Structure formats: structure tokens, C-alpha cells
Structure 1
Amino acid sequence: MSTALRVVVVGAGIVGAAVARVLARAGCEVTVVDRGATAGGTSAGGEGNLLVSDKEPGPELRLAQRSLAAWARIGDELRDELPAGFPGLELERKGGLVVATTGAGARNLLAFADTQRAAGVRAETVDGGRAQELEPDLTPHHTTAVYYPEDLQVQPVAATEALLAAARRHGARVRQGVEVTGPVLSSGRLAGVRAGSTTLPADAVVLAAGPWSGLVAERLGVVLPVRPRRGTVLVTSRMPARIRHKVYDADYVGAVGSGSADLQVSSVVESTAAGTVLIGSSRERRGFDERIEARVLAALAAKALLLFPFLADVQAMRAYGGFRPFVPDHLPVIGADPRLPGLWHATGHEGAGIGLSLATADLLRDQLLGTAGGDLDPLAAEFRPDRPTLLPHLEGSTP
């Protein structure tokens, strides 16, 4: 296909921003629309983690490894694409430390790390002394720990705005406060979108609306099983830096992979450049319920104290919540929708969208433009909308 395609990207979070940038760089006429502000949804509510430590061997881990390689390059690329003095990404190579506090947790963690090492992940089992060197305030009552030096962190809003700014420099238009209300169809093909009384013609529409993707897809005439999964983060007051890495308990991987709608809480603790400590992580499917609840905050705090007892004396400053785009088989949806030609998806990353955004954009660009192997890339098939594990959810229900 010609790179002079007109493309509408629905969603101005980090995935939509990454897609807009690579397509604009390839010569496409790109328009990004969002019903709210840029980086105003899931991207603003995340912690900015770029992780391999929480992913079991399989397609998502391979996508994460590609994305980490892209994140290693993006700083230099953006320095060439953006004007001097543009704010940086706050990319930190802080590494992750996964801690087990029970015998069963230790066995599961060590087995999990073994499978990851076989898939090319650097996972270093550390003894008690080494764990205390990495995190001096870590509880001594842990049974084992695994260090992941490849884990990174980025400021997600800064990264999103930088990618959008780069897309603009390559000719993309970004329109805030524009809500997609329906499709523009031509001979059975999606030929654009309606936004109120406005029509935006397009050769391709890329749906990158995060947890709202299911709702937008329904307006365009297809079922897409992307649903919101709520998360809450507790934020402490500022303090001298005492937590050096992203530290979480071994239960975190199980909570991420759970399909339950019930509340899942595991301990994830990390410092920010501003001096606060972020305490997560919760997962719960309750639609777009935005309430911050004491029961969730209490569970987060209790879990965090198991890892860092000193936090008992630290003041909590605020809490915030957000929605992750949940998909039943726990894999992103990337690629062309076979039911509606002209519709493409880049969504469903749940809590990994920040980390997976750059590789997602590359994968979608190669398929949409038929470049660099495109559909011949074996990884592309793993995220197709009509993959076997997702196919039963595409019909018979609405998001």
C-alpha cells in the first residue's frame, strides 16, 4: 500500500501517539483524535513501567523485548526529531526486584525465573545479602528475590507528549475534544469516522482508545472484547529516596494474569523522581466506576508494609485511579479487523501499554503499509483480532 494513506488514529494515549509517529514518519497523512485531552486517560494514570519481569515466555514477552530495544533507541531518535530543549522522557534504568515472602512464593518465583531465562530474560537470583544491598530497607523476612536489570521506567505523560510532538513535526494533526460517534462506510469498507457533525475520511482507522476501545468499536459496528479493569495507586508524601528499584511481591504476576473480575491486590512499590513513593497494585473489573475506595487503599498499604515496614510511619498524600484495557486472553489486539476492512486495532494491553507501545506501533505500521515483512512477521499472528483464543469473544455480545 502507498505510504500516502490517510489514517485516523482514535486515541491520544501513548499507544496512539506511538502509532501516529511511525505512520507520519512513513509519509501517511495522520490525524489523531481523542474525546478528551492528550495523555488524559490510562497513560496519565500509569506508573510508566517498561517491564519484562512480569511476563511469562510467549508472545507478550517477545513483544516486550522488542519494545525495550526500541526504548533504548527512542531518546536519540527524538533528539533528532524534536527541537532543542524539549522535555526529556525521564527514562530510568532502575531495574526490578521481585520478592517472595513465603516458601510457596519462593518456589513459584524461582520456577518462573527459570522459564524467563530460557527465553532470554536477564533474571538474577539474589541471596539475602545482595537483596539488602539492592534495597537496604527491604524486610529481612523474605525467602528469596530475583533481580531484573532490564526493567525500566519512563514518565508516561512526558513520553506520550514527546511522541505526539514528533508526530506533529512529521505532519500529523492532533485534535482534542473530538469524540467518534459512528462510521463512514463505503462499499462495505470503513472509509472514515463521524465525530458529531464532522466527517473524517480515512483509508485506515486505527483504534487505540485503550479501555474505551470496546465502546468505540461498537459505534463502528463490530464487537471487540476490551473492557476496563480498574486500578488504584496510593502516593506517599515526599521523602529522601529510600527505594531504589521497582519492587514487588511474587503474587503480582498471578494478579496480572488472573481473569477474575474480583479485586486482586499485590504489592508494587517504587519511588519517583519527585521523591514520592507509589504503592500499587490493584485490579478489579467494575466497569468505569471511578471511585477511590478505602478498602482498596487499606489492602494496598497492608501489602506494601510486608515489603517495606518503614512505610508505616510515612504519610499518605493522595491516591489516584485509572482503567486498564482488559482482554479475556490477556494479549493485546494488534492488526486489521477481518470483519470490517479499513479498521485496525492497537489496543488491549492492560497494564503494559506504556512498555509495549513502541513495538506495537512498529508491528502495526509494518502490517498496514506492507513493509519489513508485515504479515510475514510470525509475531503478528499472535495478536490478530481473529486469533483462536479471542475468536469466541468476537460475536454474540457487546463490550
Structure 2
Amino acid sequence: MLQQADVIVIGAGIVGAACAVSLQQAGMRTLLIDAAQPGCGVTAAGMGHLVALDESEQELDLCLYSLNLWRDWVVQHPDIGQVTQSGTLWVAENEAQLQQAQQRAERLNARNWHAEMISTQQLHQLEPALRQGLAGAVRVSGDSIVYAPVIAHHMAQELKQLGGQLLCGYQVISLNQASGSSVNLELDNGQRLSAQHVVVAAGLGTSSLLPDIPVFPRKGHLAITDRYPRRLQHQIVSMDYGQHNMTADGLSVAANIQPRATGQWLIGSSRQDGQTDTQVSTIALGTVLQSAIRLLPCLATMHVIRAWAGMRPASPDGQPILGAHPYRSGVWLAAGHEGLGVTTALATAELLKDQMLGLPTAIDATPYAPSRLLP
């Protein structure tokens, strides 16, 4: 029998699970609902990196706030989620990219997130598998790799240990305002629930519950190799990453290769709009693999054991949608993180909790407010 909750969080991916734990720790009775199991959706399909991205000041603000929270979380939760502080090598293939790398290093160092320029010679000493002829790189030593589904599952169990509630296997099919100060939900089994606050962290399901919130799918392809331990130490990312240089069919690819704790290599990354399913495209996957092989030629001889595609929940302006719905009292959003859901999960949870409780936020939450996207 479910107990009355102050807050209901819809969606037990890593963002929703983090929000639920933060709210429960703040003294709010919290119920976390998921149609499947914690961490089984977008969280399970992604790469699982903790990385400082700086395509905008707002993006960097959120990343750095969250990365510092993750440092504390890892200390408090040892041996959870295969956390590896591999650091990231942002690899420049030409002089223009090397200048961009220098600018990235300057921006990160100005914010006390250590980054250092790496020469061509140093690059091959650090990672001998990289091809010859690269212009250099910037190494961001504080970045990490995690296995996010395990962390989301752990967070959901931690919620229960803190006295919160977890309800799995039931989908929320409608969300509406009650006559009083609460919000009503209906589940697919006909059950109705209500709470003073409802947090929608449902990923791509956000727009089905709230059609006015413009969260849309952005498809990506990934592949993973057999085990090749100790052949790669850093996460390798092309300086093209995130720049959305799309082909005529809307496909954007930039190499991102991670050494996993298992010894496997996880290979991405692509973005493609206008897709409606998660079927693997041989063209897109081939382009992803070719991009990775261009940086790490030895990949051409490695055994790829699995490939898959997933959908990132994206927003029109590239920033996540965090905070109170401007027209629906009691409804809160934690959506549209695209490829940064894992990185920014803890900051999302803290920003949402502080706003809900009327507390000052650690960083300016205005750039992520849902009101910016609604007429």
C-alpha cells in the first residue's frame, strides 16, 4: 500500500533517481515511479561520462556544479558504478582544432577545472594507439567514466532506505491539476495518485504528459568491443564533438571512445534528428566506426560484440529544462538533458530541490527555466 507523498517523481533514470533522493533527504516524502526498472531507459543506452562541456557558459556552469557534486558522491559511495577517473583527451586533427583546444583549456582552467595542452609527442606517449600526424590535444584530468544504470539502480534503493517509496512497472498516462493545491496522476492500471508536487523526469515521455514542453528525440549509435585491457587509458574525443556538423540526412558524427572498467572499448558518438525508432542504421553505425578508426587505427582489427541505438531527450536550445512549469502549479520539469543527463544529474537534483523549497540556488537557474521555451 502506497503512503501519501509530498512529491512524486516520474521517471527513474539517473536524473529522476537523483532528484528523488535529494528531495527525500530534504525532508519531503517522495515517491519515485517508473514504467520499467531504474536506469533501464535512456540511462542504459548512453555512454555514461562525467565530462565538462563548454559549448556555452550555462552548459559549463551546470557541468562544473554537478562534477563537484559527483566528486563527493563517489567518495561517499565507493565501488558503485565502476567509476574510473580516466580523464578526457580532446584530440585535435589540425591546427584549427588545436586552437580550439587551447581555448577550451583556457576556459576550463579559468573555472578551476584542470586542463593542459598536450603536444604531438606527449600525445603518443600517453596513448600509443592514437594515429600519427595528430596536431595535439587538451587533457582534462577531472573527467570520469561511470556505469550509469548501476548508479541509477543504487539511487532508487537508497531512496527506499531513506524512507521514500519506489513503484516500478506502472506507467503514468495522464497528469492534471486538482481543484486544490495538489496534482493528480493516473497510472496505466487505473490507479490515481496525487501529491503537492510532481517532478516530470520522464525523458522522451515528457512531451506525452506535457505536450507544451518541447522535448524531442535525437538518435545516437554506439558499439562496444571485446575486452582489450590496458590498451587505452583516457577517454578519447574529437574536437568536432558537439559541433553538430550534420550531413544532408541530418547525421552528425564525432569520435568518442571510452575505455571501460571491463577492458572493453565503448565507441560513439552520433546525433541524428527526425528519427522515430531505435533500429540500428548500418550507414550511421559505419560512419561512427570510421570516425573512431580514423583516430585509433587498431580499432579496425578489434572485435565489436554489440551495437545499438538510443534516443536522447533534447531541447530546442540545447539546454536542459529544469524548474517549475510556468502555468501548472505544482508541476516541475527535469528534462531535455540530451547527452549530459549523467554528468548533470546531481546538479539538476539540487537546483530542483532548492527551487521547490524556496532556497537560493548554487548557480543561476534562469537559463534552464521551462518558461524560456513556452509562449
1:264-297: per-residue Cα shift (whole Å, max 9, x none)? Answer: 1111111111121111001112343111011011
| Distance of 2:166 and 2:43 partners within structure 1 | 16
1:131 pairs with one of 120, 123, 136: 123
1:90 aligned counterpart, secondary structure: coil
CA apart distance, 1:74: 1.0
Does 1:162 pair with 2:154?
Answer: yes
Does 1:251 pair with 2:217?
Answer: no
| Distance of 2:214 and 2:181 partners within structure 1 | 21
CA apart distance, 1:41: 0.6
Call closer, same or farther: CA 1:188–1:266 in 2, change over 3 Å: farther
Contact 1:184 1:201 in 2 (8 A): no
2:223 aligned counterpart, secondary structure: strand
* Residue of structure 2 in register with 1:351 after alignment: 339
Identity %: 32
* Residue of structure 2 in register with 1:147 after alignment: 139
| Distance of 1:214 and 1:186 partners within structure 2 | 20
* Residue of structure 1 in register with 2:41 after alignment: 41
* Residue of structure 2 in register with 1:174 after alignment: 166
* Residue of structure 2 in register with 1:25 after alignment: 25
In structure 2, stretches of 5+ residues that fail to align are: none
Counterpart of 1:227, as a letter, is: F
| Distance of 1:236 and 1:7 partners within structure 2 | 41
In structure 1, stretches of 5+ residues that fail to align are: 80-86
| Distance of 2:41 and 2:249 partners within structure 1 | 21
1:286 aligned counterpart, secondary structure: coil
Contact 1:236 1:315 in 2 (8 A): yes
CA apart distance, 1:300: 1.0
Call closer, same or farther: CA 1:101–1:270 in 2, change over 3 Å: same
Counterpart of 1:65, as a letter, is: L
1:193 pairs with one of 178, 185, 191: 185
* Residue of structure 1 in register with 2:369 after alignment: 384
2:273 pairs with one of 285, 302, 306: 285
Counterpart of 1:206, as a letter, is: V
Contact 1:212 1:227 in 2 (8 A): no
Does 1:62 pair with 2:84?
Answer: no
| Distance of 1:369 and 1:165 partners within structure 2 | 24
| Distance of 1:76 and 1:171 partners within structure 2 | 23
| Distance of 1:144 and 1:286 partners within structure 2 | 35
| Distance of 1:51 and 1:261 partners within structure 2 | 28
What's the TM-score, normalizing by structure 2? 0.93
| Distance of 1:71 and 1:260 partners within structure 2 | 38
2:268 aligned counterpart, secondary structure: strand
Call closer, same or farther: CA 1:378–1:250 in 2, change over 3 Å: closer
Counterpart of 2:252, as a letter, is: Q
* Residue of structure 1 in register with 2:354 after alignment: 366
| Distance of 2:42 and 2:175 partners within structure 1 | 24
Contact 1:189 1:340 in 2 (8 A): no
| Distance of 2:107 and 2:95 partners within structure 1 | 19
What's the TM-score, normalizing by structure 1? 0.88
1:328 aligned counterpart, secondary structure: coil
CA apart distance, 1:215: 1.8
Judge which range, 265-274 or 87-96, deviates more: 87-96
Call closer, same or farther: CA 1:345–1:260 in 2, change over 3 Å: farther
Name segments (4+ residues, structure 1) moved above 6 Å: 257-261
| Distance of 1:65 and 1:272 partners within structure 2 | 23
| Distance of 1:10 and 1:258 partners within structure 2 | 33
Call closer, same or farther: CA 1:24–1:328 in 2, change over 3 Å: same
Call closer, same or farther: CA 1:318–1:123 in 2, change over 3 Å: same
CA apart distance, 1:133: 2.1
Contact 1:89 1:158 in 2 (8 A): yes
Does 1:215 pair with 2:208?
Answer: yes
Contact 2:177 2:329 in 1 (8 A): no
